[in-house]
Structure 1
Amino acid sequence: MNLTVDIGNTRTKIAVFNGEQFVCEEKFEEAAPQHLLDMVALYSPDKLAYCSVGSGQPAFETALQKLSCPVLHVTGETPAPVTVHYRTPHTLGADRLAAVVGAITLQPETDLLVIDAGTCITYDLVDAAGNYLGGNISPGVEMRLEALHTRTARLPRTEADGETPDLGYDTETAIRAGVVRGIGYELQGCIRHWQKRYPTLRIFLTGGNRYAFSNAVRQNILTDSHLVARGLNHLLEMLP
């Protein structure tokens, strides 16, 4: 058994794999060492891979390094089955690299656009020859809603859940529709742009907010909530 740990900005996800086969995943609101120790005790992993985009989880990372099984810390510079053309691989988010690797395990030798709709929205492009060509980072739903409230004098803090009409009929729906529909239009425009360059492009949509936008980008979309975990596990399986 393998364990993968994805320490994100808002949640920590621990997944279990049997070889390349996904078994299950647990999600936690905080990176508490006890969650890790409980999963290790339950599944007795042979090895573990983790990545972290959060700002410092010293207790959790100390617990990881004290495990008796081999532990792989994945970064943007970890050897992977892609050729990274990012000019600053040391700043490349490990979750972005892992998501691309996860997509490749499901759709090898294919032009792929991987969209991760989470705290931020990331767009990453890899071609059929395995070249990771780079990507873009955009604010996610909550970040946009928060910015509209904190960077203006009178706009209220609006919740993401609720109506998103074509035209807002009050300030709350105007904000929510502007943010949620605006992201949908952003995704559509990005997909159209890259499909012109890569006509056989396949699109993966992952992340905690993926279902909020799946209807906005219906064409040729593959949704998978475990892309990062799949990628971490594949990098783990590559170890000698």
Structure 2
Amino acid sequence: MSVECKLLVIDAGNTSIKFTALFGDQVLWVRRGDSYPTDADFAPDVIYFASVRSKELSALLRADIQAEFPQSQWLTLKSQAYACGVRNAYLEPERLGIDRWLGVIAAHHLVTGDVVVVDAGTAIKIDVVNQAGLHLGGYITPGLAMMEESLLSKTARIRYEAHEVVAGEGLPNSTARAVTEGCHEMALGFLERIYRRYPTFKWVVTGGDAQRLLDLLGVSLECQPNLVALGAKLVGDERLRGDK
């Protein structure tokens, strides 16, 4: 089958599902939700499925989508030791999150040279890949919202309302500012340490908080909101072609 077809990429994260419709290299639309958008007038020829959810939840989602598109070819993408010119650093390659693996592959193909890949969503994920396509490894830390939620869930008296989260100058002078700005400082400190270790590397970022955080550090970067979907297309197309 030609890879120049109507393609649906399903990126099932821990907290949301991202649906990306493509034709060739063109992104037609992107939607987020708990299920496939019923108002989307799009019948894919092929579906690439990438999920970090449990086997049970992934199976339920797959059944729902396949019931919607029974004629579509289906490819479930898994992390591998090698794909699309990139070698996985993990001793057990399948244990690298598929979202991280696809992001590394996409970043390696998007820019020339050594790359730091940042995905800042529910978690902040860092991966490093060199110009030769060797994935060097990476980190996972809680994202901003997760850090705040963890602090609130483990304490009895740290409480505030949403309207109390306001910008201010100087040291935080309210509980709301102390928590939100403290979490920002933790994330920024982590990213700054990575930047100092890899000052000559190019940075490719995705995720809702990535550009906002890195802009504060003054890091030169390429923002790519559809990084995982682009990686899924590269890997899925390679499989369809039967490349080794």
Question: How far is the alpha carbon of 1:110 from its aligned partner?
Answer: 1.5
> Within 5 Å, which residues of 2 pair with 1:135-174?
135-156=138-159, 162-163=166-167, 165-174=169-178
Question: How far is the alpha carbon of 1:134 from its aligned partner?
Answer: 1.2
Matched positions, count: 229
What is the CA–CA distance in structure 2 between the aligned matches of 1:227 and 1:127, rounded to whole Å? 17
What is the CA–CA distance in structure 1 between the aligned matches of 2:172 and 2:131, rounded to whole Å? 42
Determine which of 85, 88, 95 is the counterpart of 1:91: 95
Q: Cα deviation per residue 1:160-184 (whole Å; 9 max; x = unaligned)?
A: 9632644111221111110013212
Question: Are the aligned partners of 1:124 and 1:134 in contact in 2 as well (CA < 8 Å)?
Answer: yes
Question: How far is the alpha carbon of 1:36 from its aligned partner?
Answer: 6.0
Aligned residue in 1 for 2:137: 134
Question: Are the aligned partners of 2:82 and 2:88 in contact in 1 as well (CA < 8 Å)?
Answer: no
**Secondary structure, in 3 states, of the residue corresponding to 2:215?**
coil
Query: In angstroms, what is the RMSD of aligned CA positions?
Result: 2.2
What is the CA–CA distance in structure 2 between the aligned matches of 1:173 and 1:218, rounded to whole Å? 23
Aligned residue in 2 for 1:183: 187
What is the CA–CA distance in structure 2 between the aligned matches of 1:24 and 1:105, rounded to whole Å? 22
Asked if 1:125 is matched to 2:128, the reply is yes
**Secondary structure, in 3 states, of the residue corresponding to 1:216?**
helix
> Within 5 Å, which residues of 2 pair with 1:68-87?
68-77=71-80, 80-81=83-84, 82-87=86-91
**Secondary structure, in 3 states, of the residue corresponding to 1:10?**
coil
**Secondary structure, in 3 states, of the residue corresponding to 2:167?**
coil
Give 5+ residue unaligned stretches, structure 1.
none
Give 5+ residue unaligned stretches, structure 2.
1-5
What is the CA–CA distance in structure 1 between the aligned matches of 2:16 and 2:118, rounded to whole Å? 18
Asked if 1:5 is matched to 2:10, the reply is yes
Q: TM-score, normalized by length of structure 1?
A: 0.86
Q: Cα deviation per residue 1:119-145 (whole Å; 9 max; x = unaligned)?
A: 000000110000111110000111110
Question: Are the aligned partners of 1:164 and 1:180 in contact in 2 as well (CA < 8 Å)?
Answer: no
Q: TM-score, normalized by length of structure 2?
A: 0.85
What is the CA–CA distance in structure 2 between the aligned matches of 1:123 and 1:228, rounded to whole Å? 14
